[in-house]
Structure 1
C-alpha cells in the first residue's frame, strides 16, 4: 500500500516505468565516469509468478538496452525518499 492507502498499480506490458542504472564503478580517486540515474523504460514482459519482476526496454541517451526475464529481468524497488533505489531495479515514475 502507498502512504495514502491506495494500492500500487501492477506492471503490465507497455507501461512506462523508471529503471535505475548501475553507473560505472568507483575509481581509486572516488569519482565515477557515470553515476546511477533514473532512465525511462518500457515494460516488455511480466513474470507470471512475481509481478514485481519484469523485463524492460531501457531508453538511454546512447541507445535502447534490454533486460529480459530470461536474463534475470529487473525487480521493483520502493522509493522512500531517503535511500535512492538500487541500480538494476525499476520503480513507478514520480508524480511531478
Structure 2
C-alpha cells in the first residue's frame, strides 16, 4: 500500500492567507523603522496560468491595501517567506 503526501490546498477567491509586508527601507545601520510583518489577507483573484500568484486584499491595523494581479499580484513563498509574498496561515 503506497501513501501519497496530502495535496496542498489551492488558493481560491475568499480564502484567508498571510501576506508578508515589505516594511520600510533598511537604514544604513541595518535597522528598519517598521520591519516586515505578517498580515491577514483575503484572496481576491487567482492567476489562471499560475494559481500560486494571487490578487490580495491585505488587512493592516491602519487600513486595507489592495494588491491586484494587474499590479503584479503576490506569489506564494512557503519556504523563505520573502516580503511581498503570501503563505498559508500557520497551524497554532
Tell me the distance in 2 between the aligned counterparts of 1:59 and 1:22. 14
Q: How many equivalent residue pairs?
A: 89
Give the SS at the match of 1:70. helix
1:57 matched residue in structure 2: 57
Gaps of 5+ in 2: none
Gaps of 5+ in 1: none
Tell me the distance in 2 between the aligned counterparts of 1:66 and 1:14. 14
**1:35 shift after superposition:** 0.6
**1:42 shift after superposition:** 0.1
**1:54 shift after superposition:** 0.2
Q: 2:81 aligns with which of 76, 81, 85?
A: 85
Tell me the distance in 1 between the aligned counterparts of 2:11 and 2:28. 39
Runs of 4+ in 1 over 4 A off after TM superposition: none
Task: Using structure 2 for the length normalisation, give the TM-score.
Answer: 0.91
Tell me the distance in 1 between the aligned counterparts of 2:90 and 2:34. 22
Q: Please, what is the CA RMSD of the aligned residues?
A: 1.3
1:45 matched residue in structure 2: 45
**1:30 shift after superposition:** 2.1
